[in-house]
Structure 1
């Protein structure tokens, strides 16, 4: 499949601006169960965007918290047996309470344990699933060819199975890559932009999943929320790269650009 085969709907810029303004206005409480590598970065990204992050991970607390949050992220990046129980409890509570939640299947397909857990979590109907092409392919049942957390497939390669996964799960699928593709199985939106430096800073992709969860806290149209969050990320990444000299300055510039975007 080539990009020419994809319906190229232009997502209204006004809707992206409006959704970001709503995040800044309401500071949606975002319950983040993520991996130990990216926790601090993810919290800073959400704060820069105007959301309110809460990194509640204890199994004894996650059910209560997921039920009151505006959105929940479950990221399996450094999962262990304790995390798995907490993530399942959070997913169950979110589904029961009607809290939108996002699954980030980090390195699924590369390792059996996390692949089984991620597929089990599908039972609790994530509102959105965000991953790179290899992760989405693996979650859909194909051989994604991932190298650890990195993708060896392009986002366009994963799109046909992403659409099937969206249809079978009822989730919006956001495939990250040089061009992000977001689909609900019927409609597909391409979000270009960003910069290669976004792949060189730990946690950028993972924090996008958290930002989608924050946008879901103010925007009930899951496709729109995922597109708006992805577009905000791409714009901030592009602007940050213009004034960066390397990965370190890019990380700081990205948070700066995200914090002033739309203001």
Structure 2
């Protein structure tokens, strides 16, 4: 199956199965993340108490762990949920937000890495830092190109046995052996809070139904990239763009993907 056929099949499966995605994510983006999943056809849930998070992780179809606004109660919930998801053979996604410059989250994300996430989604600097090297990140902003993160992404994918999606002007997905580049997207995607974090949730939804972690990475990149391009056609400013992006996610289908996806 060629990459675009894989993306179409994964989206079709997502819409058919409506995976329940357990989102342990940062407080800035919860509402937007839930709306992105709903617009796409998945079901969001955010169960954050440590004991309930562990119970719910095996009820859900996939787990997202996003360390954007990390605190001690959330760390306990994330540890419990990841352990339960791994034991229950549920796919899980690690989004290492701002890893590198900040010591606590960097150590914590590397601790979670030992549990072999199904998929890692981060910008180039986050991917480089998570791998153990020094990235040039400034908060949530990357100071590195995605091309500079390719070696780190491939190393992480080999270490986890999953896939890595390094996002930027060009998104790269890799499973440590195969590399796919997605050239879809628009700069307005970087001017709405929560788009990247929501993409992590989309990746988790895709991981619940895709044939492989790399297929989930490719699909989440293509979906968000095309939706961003289509949203910009009708909304040229960030406020209206955020609403148009949800509409574009609802609209996207196999026909649109086959016509507009740019993979290499």
Unaligned runs of 5+ in 1: 1-9
Question: For residues 128 and 98 of structure 1, do their structure 2 counterparts lie closer, same or farther at Cα, with a shift above 3 Å needed?
Answer: same
CA distance in 1 between counterparts of 2:101 and 2:132 reads: 12
Aligned-residue Cα RMSD (Å) equals 1.2
CA distance in 2 between counterparts of 1:251 and 1:93 reads: 34
Mapped contact 2:21–2:44 kept (Cα < 8 A): yes
What stretches of structure 1 move > 2 A for 4+ residues in a row?
A: 10-15
Does residue 1:61 correspond to 2:33, yes or no? Answer: no
Which one of the candidate residues 144, 147, 157 is aligned to 2:135? 144
Mapped contact 2:99–2:130 kept (Cα < 8 A): yes
TM-score, structure 1 length as denominator? 0.94
Which one of the candidate residues 77, 80, 99 is aligned to 1:86? 77
Which one of the candidate residues 162, 168, 186 is aligned to 1:177? 168
Corresponding position of 2:213: 222
Question: For residues 146 and 123 of structure 1, do their structure 2 counterparts lie closer, same or farther at Cα, with a shift above 3 Å needed?
Answer: same
Corresponding position of 2:147: 156
Corresponding position of 2:33: 42
Deviation at 1:59, TM superposition (A): 0.6
Deviation at 1:145, TM superposition (A): 1.1
Deviation at 1:15, TM superposition (A): 2.3
Unaligned runs of 5+ in 2: 255-264
CA distance in 2 between counterparts of 1:227 and 1:59 reads: 31
Mapped contact 1:71–1:101 kept (Cα < 8 A): yes
CA distances 1:40-87 after superposition (whole Å, capped 9, x unpaired): 000000001100100111112011111121110000000001100100
TM-score, structure 2 length as denominator? 0.94
Mapped contact 2:118–2:160 kept (Cα < 8 A): no
CA distance in 2 between counterparts of 1:254 and 1:194 reads: 11
